[in-house]
Amino acid sequence: MDKGKILIVDDEVSILESLSGILEDEGYQTITARNGIEALEVSGREFPDVTFLDVWMPDMDGLEVLRRLRAQDPDRVIVMISGHGTIASAVKAVKSGAFDFIEKPLNMDEILLSLQKAMEHRSLVMENRRLREIVRRQDAQAQLFLFPKMDPGETEAPVPSPVTTAESRPARSRSLRKGRGLRQKTLRQSMVLYGTGLHSGLKTGLMLLPLPPNSGILFGNIYDEHTVPGKLMYVEETDYATSLRKGRITAKTIEHFMAVLHAYGINNLLVKMNEEIPIMDGSALDFCKIIEEAGIEEQDEELAELVIERRYSLGEIDPDNRYISIEPSDYFGVRYVLNYPPPIGQQEYTFIMRDEAVFKEEIAPARTFGFLKDIKSLTKMGLIEGGRLHNVILLDEGRVMNTTLRFPDEFVRHKILDIIGDFYLFNQPIKGWITANMTGHSDNIALLREIQKEVG
């Protein structure tokens, strides 16, 4: 089976022949060029998936060829090879856009490993290009997604705007009240991000499209216009993650992304993906970066804060019990207590949502974690297929197995990240103080549903 098309550029015939033979034995199709001019011509005609390019060649050196190939197509995936490599030349090659740098004499294991990584990168690059094209076509039509088509046999009307008017909102009890009006926000431009789903293991793109006021947070499939609102009533699962469903549309593992929308005050956004939000590095930092890169646009309409005026609680307040509560406060804050076997132990952290900068510094970097024994069980259940050494803090035998912690108490901070995400499922800011002990998504959602009874 053809694994991909590889261009090899080198002025040494022996290198061309041996490398071509090995890669073809591995199932790749190879094409060759003996100098830079020939490489540019062949590359423009054959469109290789990956190019192995020698640095030192007569007439036109590899770095100049690299620059010209990248000018042809900025997404070219190019691995530089050199028999006279130095740190300086390697750095220069990478800065010029090379994917990797390998020294001669060539080690075939190193070549094949680099090629595998390059092909994976190429796959992500092409997915990103495809998604950007979809964004280009659909950006001007974002309004269409506000009114999803009905599934066959479905009779309910399109989901109304998450922001109801004073006339249509049921009267609230004295346990809740409408607070100050805050300007609604969306993004200034559409954005694309790609990664891997934690539980599905599938490479999944993420398209973010601005929406007009009173639209709310909507999740949709990349391939059609159906959507599910990012609201409490559509929560389907809370085992290991928070997932939504409406009809045939699902949106899985939304909590980290929702936490960022909560912190940055984004109220109106269309999020299109392939069923699951990508896990990225296990934290929310990449989502913060893409929101900041897009820019935030304040809109003319306002949205009132949901102000908690009495205490809601689940579970008995006891250090040995799971419990969570929310009570009146002048701001949104969380105090969480965690008690796990080593290396976690007992951890406690208090976070006050002053602004997005504090969230980005204190909470967003905290990554998903799991014990090796539990991850093996989840894998057997078909979950956490996307868990890799770089996106989950792996724990076993009383120690962290695969990384250096970003904070000594990174674990409890991550639990707060989950709470911040789940508590944005009203699509409006909440003013209240949360206290939690050893709780998870199911507890967060249960408490929200208690509040929902009075929100109407």
Walk me through the domains of the chain, giving residue ranges and CATH numbers: 5-132 (3.40.50.2300), 184-455 (3.30.1700.10)
Give CA–CA dist 378/384, Å, rounded: 6
Give CA–CA dist 280/353, Å, rounded: 23
166-223 pLDDT tens trace: 333 334 445 777 667 899 999 998 888 866 544 444 556 688 889 999 999 999 987 6
CB atoms within 10 A of CB 53: 26
Which residues does the annotation mark as catalytic? Answer: 441
Give the DSSP H or E segment for 125. helix 108-138
* Residue 417 scores a pLDDT above 70: yes
Give CA–CA dist 306/300, Å, rounded: 19
Question: Residues 38-53: what's their mean pLDDT?
Answer: 93
Q: Are 191 and 261 in contact (CB under 8 A)?
A: no
pLDDT of residue 1: 58
Question: Residues 405-428: what's their mean pLDDT?
Answer: 96
pLDDT of residue 60: 85
Quote the tokens at residue 58.
Answer: 């007569």
* Average pLDDT of the residues of the chain: 82
Percentage of the chain lying above the pLDDT 90 cut? 50
pLDDT of residue 59: 78
* Residue 4 scores a pLDDT above 80: yes
Question: Residues 229-234: what's their mean pLDDT?
Answer: 96
Question: Residues 61-86: what's their mean pLDDT?
Answer: 84
